[in-house]
């Protein structure tokens, strides 16, 4: 992976809780965040005493390297959002400026935690579809804004292998969102679900309270039957 191909962008603990319908009981469990990048979910949950590990190929880089890449992509992302305001629901995030503030606050929490979290084994350099964990290491695996969102860049085969790998390392998997970058339902959902069902993995779609990208109102929940 080259850093110039990564778009590091981080959401907060509150956003993860709402995207993934996380209950207080869920937050007591062992949790894997796959593709967490510079999100602050890990930093905030670990600080509150949670048992959480994040896996992402961007963790092969130092904090300074990731920070400088964030500085590069920040204006590009902001201007894309500003050009397409109707693609988003401006409610808890009020406007583009507020979006930038919320994202930067989350990423600062990540940067403050990154070195000590790496030493503690909470940030692991790893890439789907192959994760360096034993079977069922985690009670819950979460994948936010990587699978399905990048359906134009990540093939159907990679999606299927990645979903099965997440189901191997965790008892339950939740993936959000189910729409692509342009807000349409991912073309990979139906074939992924069919392939998982053939492997005995139960699939359910659940409505979430999180609202930002239009059309992104469901989380996919996977469990071996």
Query: Which residues make up the interface to ligand SAM (CB under 6 A)?
Result: 6-11, 34-37, 39, 56-58, 127-128, 144-146
- Around 72, how many Cα atoms within 13 Å sit in the side-chain half-sphere? 12
CB of 49 to ligand SAM, least distance (A): 22
Neighbouring-strand partners of residue 40: none
Order the strands of the 201-207 sheet from edge to edge.
123-124, 51-55, 30-34, 138-144, 170-176, 218-224, 201-207
CB of 25 to ligand SAM, least distance (A): 22
CB of 43 to ligand SAM, least distance (A): 12
Neighbouring-strand partners of residue 155: none
| CA-based nearest residue to 52, from 170, 165, 225 | 170
CB of 39 to ligand SAM, least distance (A): 4
Q: Which is nearer to ligand SAM, 37 or 117 (CB)?
A: 37
CB of 35 to ligand SAM, least distance (A): 3
Q: Which is nearer to ligand SAM, 13 or 221 (CB)?
A: 13
Q: Which ranges constitute the DSSP H helices of 88-199?
A: 96-119, 156-169, 189-198
Q: Which is nearer to ligand SAM, 57 or 215 (CB)?
A: 57
Q: Which is nearer to ligand SAM, 56 or 217 (CB)?
A: 56
Q: Which is nearer to ligand SAM, 7 or 203 (CB)?
A: 7
The CB-nearest residue to ligand SAM is: 37
Q: Which ranges constitute the DSSP H helices of 6-155?
A: 13-19, 41-47, 63-83, 96-119
């Amino acid at each position: 992976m080259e850093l110039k191909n990564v778009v590091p962008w981080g959401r907060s603990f509150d956003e993860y809780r709402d995207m993934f319908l996380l209950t207080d009981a869920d937050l007591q469990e062992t949790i894997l965040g796959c593709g967490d990048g510079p999100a602050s979910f890990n930093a905030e949950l670990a600080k509150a005493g949670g048992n959480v590990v994040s896996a992402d190929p961007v963790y092969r880089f130092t904090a300074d390297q990731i920070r400088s890449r964030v500085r590069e992509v920040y204006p590009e992302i902001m201007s894309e959002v500003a050009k397409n305001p109707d693609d988003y629901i401006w409610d808890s995030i009020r406007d583009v400026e507020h979006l930038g503030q919320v994202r930067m606050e989350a990423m600062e929490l990540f940067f403050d935690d990154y070195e000590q979290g790496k030493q503690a084994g909470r940030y692991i350099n790893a890439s789907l579809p192959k994760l360096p964990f034993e079977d069922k290491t985690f009670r819950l695996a979460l994948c936010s804004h990587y699978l399905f969102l990048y359906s134009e860049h990540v093939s159907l085969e990679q999606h299927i292998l990645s979903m099965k790998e997440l189901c191997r390392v965790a008892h339950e998997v939740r993936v959000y969102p189910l729409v692509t970058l342009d807000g349409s339902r991912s073309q990979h959902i139906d074939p992924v679900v069919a392939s998982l069902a053939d492997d005995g993995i139960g699939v359910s779609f659940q409505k979430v309270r999180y609202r930002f990208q239009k059309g992104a109102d469901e989380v996919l929940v996977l469990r071996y039957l």
